[in-house]
Amino acid sequence: MYRWFLSWRYLVTRRTNFIGITGITVAVGALIMILSIMTGFLVEARAMLRGGLSDVIVTPALFAGQGVPRTPHPALEVIRSDDRVKAATARLTWWGLLAGAGSSAARSAAILNDSQADGLNAVQLIGVDIGTRERASQFGVRNFLTLMGFDWTPPRLQGEFETTELLADLQREPHPWRRGAPVANPYLPFQAPPGFMRAGRQLGFVIVGEQLFTTLGLKQGGELKVLTVVPDPVSGELVTNDRDYIVAGTFRSGENDVDIGRIYMDRLELWDLLGRQHTYSEILIRLNDFDRDGSAVQHDLVRELGERGLIVPVDHDPHTAASQVRTWEDFRQVMLSAIENERVLLGIMLSLILVVASFTIFAILTMMVTEKRRDIGILTAVGASPRGLLFTFLTIGFWNALLGTGFGALFGILGATYINEIESELSSLLGIEIFNRNVYIFDTIPAVLDPVAIIAIVAGAFSVTLLFAAIPAWRAARLDPIVALRYE
């Protein structure tokens, strides 16, 4: 029994042990905290990277002249009949140039005069399938049902809103420093803003990214000129088109390049601007369970849509066929790999902290074995076996590991849980802002406690410490007792 008794006595009478325990506590605690925060950041970053991307995006090689149907309905029918699909919607995208407020003459001059090019913005034009006039009645029904306590979104709206984050972008609070102008009814964004007086001309409505809106000095209800270049359906030559729209309001995604480079309008409105040639350029799909079905659905759609001639079929050109159906991960492959890489690297780097902390135990125990040479001789004389001595010193390592990892796990978990409280306390104490909320999209420090990671850290720290303790313990067992006993 002396093993437990003595190891505990040596532990509490030697201050150096507390340095070792503190070292492990700090290492394990920091590791858990940092990993939790990193996991939180990575989860958020993944969500950010995904942004408004749908699970699966079908982009038929429409403009390559493969004879693909011009309306999205046959493809949508096929896609929606799949049980794994939650929602699907068609989109039309194109590129255009924007000119803000001011006379069109001044803007035309700006086009010609390169030095004034910052008055023009290249933007992505996105025609979405929300429907305006024809869906207003559906919306009326929805309002009525909501009043009655039912939650019902019209199917067509549901498609667009389910597959993208557009609804959230329309509802997000404007950025405090910018001039946002949220639409009155996010379910029907392409409508005249409150108090808008129609001045004779029948113009379409657009929703502009908040930052673009600010940069161009636009006004809600004001006019906006959109210029595009499209191939002439008859001659095939490129012609410019321009048209005025009314700014119905703004959206805010939180992603800078989206908020400055995108405007939304009704799909049929855009179809009209582009010379009524193509009704859609992509179909966005949301699945019930992307992680489970993502790649299977992707594979099935390539085959099914190809067989029906809705996209370029596999037997025609396998490479093009496959590239027409992509998951969101395909779009962000490089970034996702980078994140994954970073996580692995971080794990390796942080494990080094653990090794260093465990190494202090090695140093402390080695010191103790040297210091306790005489005790080891005495214990041998009184009848302790080499094995007993080995276990005695190993047990000191065990106490160090147990207390260190125990306290470390406790502090780590508490620290990760109350990281925001700790941050605000520290910030006010030090008078500096530690977590700059303007740099990140998140308002709080995200921390995700992963039980598997915590168990792995604790178990790893524990076994590495024991492993390091084993070396001096083994030395203690092999010491010659005589040398220690001969002299005082």
Partner 1 sequence: MQDPTAHGAAGSDPTGPDPTGSDPYGQGAFGSTAPVSAGFALPLETDPRSKPAKPRGAGPLLSARGIQKSYAIGERKIEILHGVDLDLAHGESVALVGASGAGKSTLLHVLGLLDRPSAGTVELGGVDTWKLSPTQRSALRNGQIGFVFQFYHLLPELTAIENVLLPAMISNSTAGFRRRRAGLRQRATEMLEAFGLGQRLKHRPGQLSGGERQRVAIARALFNDPPLIIADEPTGNLDTQTGEDVLELLFAEHRRLGFSLLMVTHDERVASRCSRALEMVDGRLLTRR
Tokens matching residue 422: 């700790």
Q: Distance between CA atoms of 273 and 228, rounded to whole angstroms?
A: 8
Amino acid at 461: A
Q: Match 């557009």 to its residue by tokens.
A: 166
What residues contact residue 158 under an 8 Å CB cut-off, 6+ apart? Answer: 87
Q: 28, 34, 31: which is closest to 462 by C-alpha?
A: 28
Contact pick of 60, 72, 131, 377 for partner 1 (by CB under 8 A): 377
Under 8 Å between Cβ of 308 and 68: no
**Contact set for partner 1, span 8-37 (CB under 8 A):** 9-10, 13
When the beta carbons of 371 and 433 are compared against partner 1, the nearer one is 371
When the beta carbons of 156 and 374 are compared against partner 1, the nearer one is 374
When the beta carbons of 386 and 406 are compared against partner 1, the nearer one is 386
Residue 287: beta bridge partners? 85
Contact pick of 383, 421, 430, 436 for partner 1 (by CB under 8 A): 383
Q: 394, 390, 393, 401: which is closest to 357 by C-alpha?
A: 401
Closest approach, Cβ 484 to partner 1, in A, equals 9
Under 8 Å between Cβ of 63 and 270: no
Closest approach, Cβ 474 to partner 1, in A, equals 14
Element (H, E) at 248: strand 238-251
Q: Does 385 bind partner 1 (CB under 8 A)?
A: yes
Tokens matching residue 36: 């939790």
Q: Quick check: helix, strand or coil at residue 445?
A: coil
Contact pick of 1, 112, 199, 334 for partner 1 (by CB under 8 A): 1
Closest approach, Cβ 342 to partner 1, in A, equals 48
DSSP 36-91: HHHHHHHHHHHHHHHTT--SEEE---GGGTS---SSSHHHHHHHHTSTTEEEEEEE
Contact pick of 136, 381, 455, 459 for partner 1 (by CB under 8 A): 381
How far is residue 440 from each of residues 44, 218, 257, measured CA to CA in Å?
A: 10, 27, 15
Q: Does 388 bind partner 1 (CB under 8 A)?
A: yes
When the beta carbons of 339 and 485 are compared against partner 1, the nearer one is 485
Closest approach, Cβ 396 to partner 1, in A, equals 12
Q: Does 478 bind partner 1 (CB under 8 A)?
A: no
**Contact set for partner 1, span 220-259 (CB under 8 A):** none
Contact pick of 114, 118, 134, 488 for partner 1 (by CB under 8 A): 488
Q: Count residues binding partner 1 (CB under 8 A).
A: 28
Contact pick of 334, 382, 430, 432 for partner 1 (by CB under 8 A): 382
DSSP 113-150: -GGGGGGEEEEEEEEETT-SGGGHHHHHHHHHHHHTT-
Contact pick of 368, 384, 401, 403 for partner 1 (by CB under 8 A): 384
Q: Choose one: 6-14, 69-77, 148-156, 163-171; the region binding partner 1 (CB under 8 A).
A: 6-14
Q: What is the dihedral of CA 457, 463, 469, 473, to 10 degrees?
A: 170
Contact pick of 111, 314, 410, 485 for partner 1 (by CB under 8 A): 485
Tokens matching residue 284: 């966005």
Q: Does 378 bind partner 1 (CB under 8 A)?
A: yes
Q: Choose one: 47-55, 336-344, 419-427, 477-485; the region binding partner 1 (CB under 8 A).
A: 477-485
Q: Does 374 bind partner 1 (CB under 8 A)?
A: yes
Q: Does 453 bind partner 1 (CB under 8 A)?
A: no
Closest approach, Cβ 406 to partner 1, in A, equals 21
Q: Distance between CA atoms of 125 and 417, rounded to whole angstroms?
A: 43
Q: Does 386 bind partner 1 (CB under 8 A)?
A: yes
When the beta carbons of 6 and 297 are compared against partner 1, the nearer one is 6
Kindly list the residues in this chain that would bind partner 1 in the complex (CB under 8 A): 1-2, 4-6, 9-10, 13, 374-375, 377-388, 481-482, 485-488
